[in-house]
Amino acid sequence: MYSRPVAPARPVEDNAGMGRERWRKPILIVFALGVIVSALVFGWRRHVDREGRKKLEAAVAAIEAADPRWRHEDLLADEPDVPAAENAALVVAEFRDAVGLEQRFCGSPDDPLPRLDQVEPNRLLSAEDYRKIERVLAETPDAWPTIERLSRTPRGRFHLQVDDDWYGRTVVADERREPLSQYLLLRGELDGRDRQADRLAVSLAAEMHALRIDDVAAFENPSTNEYGLYNLCLRLERVLALVSLDRHLPVLQREFTTAAGHDRLRTRIRKTRSDYDRLFRAFDTGEASLANHLSESGSSGPSWQDGGRAWLYRPHMAADWAEALEGATRALAILDLPEYQRWAAAKLLPAPPPDELHPFSGGCWTNIQMLFPSSLSTTALLRCTVVALAAERHRVLTGDWPATLDAIPRTILPGVPLDPFTGKPLLLARRPDGVTIYSVGRDGVDDGGVIQPLFPLGKNAGDIGIRLYDTNQRGLPPKPAATTDR
pLDDT level of residue 176 (50, 70, 90 thresholds): confident
140 falls within a domain: yes
User: Which whole number is the average pLDDT over 148-169?
Assistant: 78
Beta bridge partners of 439: 464
Residue 482 is predicted with a pLDDT of: 57
Name the 3-class secondary structure at 257.
helix
- Asked if residue 419 lies in contact with residue 427, where contact means CB atoms within 8 angstroms, the answer is yes
375, burial (CB in 10 Å: exposed 0-12, middle 13-18, buried 19+): buried
- Write the single-letter amino acid at 376: L
Residue 227 is predicted with a pLDDT of: 82
pLDDT level of residue 105 (50, 70, 90 thresholds): confident
Q: Does position 484 have pLDDT exceeding 50, yes or no? A: no
User: Which whole number is the average pLDDT over 468-485?
Assistant: 81
227 falls within a domain: yes
Q: What CA–CA distance (Å, rounded) separates 139 from 160?
A: 30
> First CA to last CA across the chain, in angstroms?
137
The DSSP H or E segment spanning 385 is helix 359-398
The contacts of residue 317 (CB under 8 Å, 6+ apart) are 49, 52, 280, 283, 284, 290
User: Which whole number is the average pLDDT over 173-186?
Assistant: 86
Nearest Cα to Cα of residue 241 among 8, 451, 420, 100: 451
Name the 3-class secondary structure at 455.
coil
Q: Does position 87 have pLDDT exceeding 80, yes or no? A: yes
Q: What CA–CA distance (Å, rounded) separates 61 from 52?
A: 14
Q: How far is CA 420 from CA 9, 52, 141, 443, in A?
A: 106, 38, 42, 12
35 falls within a domain: no
- 253-281 pLDDT, tens per residue? 999 999 999 888 998 899 899 989 999 99
- Please provide residue 451's backbone torsions phi and psi, each rounded to the nearest 5 degrees: -100, 135
Angle at 162 between CA 161 and CA 165, to 5 degrees: 150
Quote the domain boundaries for residue 167: 83-269+372-473
- Please provide residue 132's backbone torsions phi and psi, each rounded to the nearest 5 degrees: -60, -45
Q: What CA–CA distance (Å, rounded) separates 176 from 38?
A: 52
- 450-469 pLDDT, tens per residue? 987 655 555 556 899 999 99
Q: Please state, rounded to an integer, the average pLDDT across all residues of the chain.
A: 86
Residue 212 is predicted with a pLDDT of: 86
Q: Does position 445 have pLDDT exceeding 50, yes or no? A: yes
pLDDT level of residue 477 (50, 70, 90 thresholds): very high
Q: Does position 346 have pLDDT exceeding 80, yes or no? A: yes
The contacts of residue 11 (CB under 8 Å, 6+ apart) are none
Residue 486 is predicted with a pLDDT of: 31
4 falls within a domain: no
pLDDT level of residue 2 (50, 70, 90 thresholds): low
Tell me the longest C-alpha to C-alpha distance in the chain.
156
- 352-369 pLDDT, tens per residue? 998 888 999 999 999 899
Q: What CA–CA distance (Å, rounded) separates 138 from 437?
A: 37
Q: Does position 219 have pLDDT exceeding 60, yes or no? A: no
Count CB atoms within 10 A of the CB of residue 215.
18
Beta bridge partners of 465: 438
- Asked if residue 275 lies in contact with residue 221, where contact means CB atoms within 8 angstroms, the answer is no
pLDDT level of residue 76 (50, 70, 90 thresholds): confident
- 227-251 pLDDT, tens per residue? 888 889 999 999 999 999 999 999 9
Least confident range from 14-23, 76-85, 179-188, 233-242: namely: 14-23
C-alpha dihedral (382, 388, 394, 395), degrees to nearest 10: -160
Question: What percentage of the chain carries pLDDT values higher than 70?
Answer: 85
Residue 214 is predicted with a pLDDT of: 73
- 15-64 pLDDT, tens per residue? 555 556 666 777 767 767 777 777 776 788 899 999 999 999 999 999 99
Q: Does position 379 have pLDDT exceeding 80, yes or no? A: yes
- Asked if residue 421 lies in contact with residue 343, where contact means CB atoms within 8 angstroms, the answer is yes
Q: Does position 131 have pLDDT exceeding 90, yes or no? A: yes
Q: Does position 307 have pLDDT exceeding 60, yes or no? A: yes
Q: How far is CA 481 from CA 130, 207, 362, in A?
A: 15, 32, 48
The DSSP H or E segment spanning 434 is strand 434-439
- Please provide residue 123's backbone torsions phi and psi, each rounded to the nearest 5 degrees: -115, 140
Question: How many Å is the Cα radius of gyration of the chain?
Answer: 32
Nearest Cα to Cα of residue 387 among 269, 281, 466, 476: 466
- Asked if residue 283 lies in contact with residue 331, where contact means CB atoms within 8 angstroms, the answer is no
- Number of domains the chain is built from: 1
User: Which whole number is the average pLDDT over 156-182?
Assistant: 75
402 falls within a domain: yes
The DSSP H or E segment spanning 87 is none
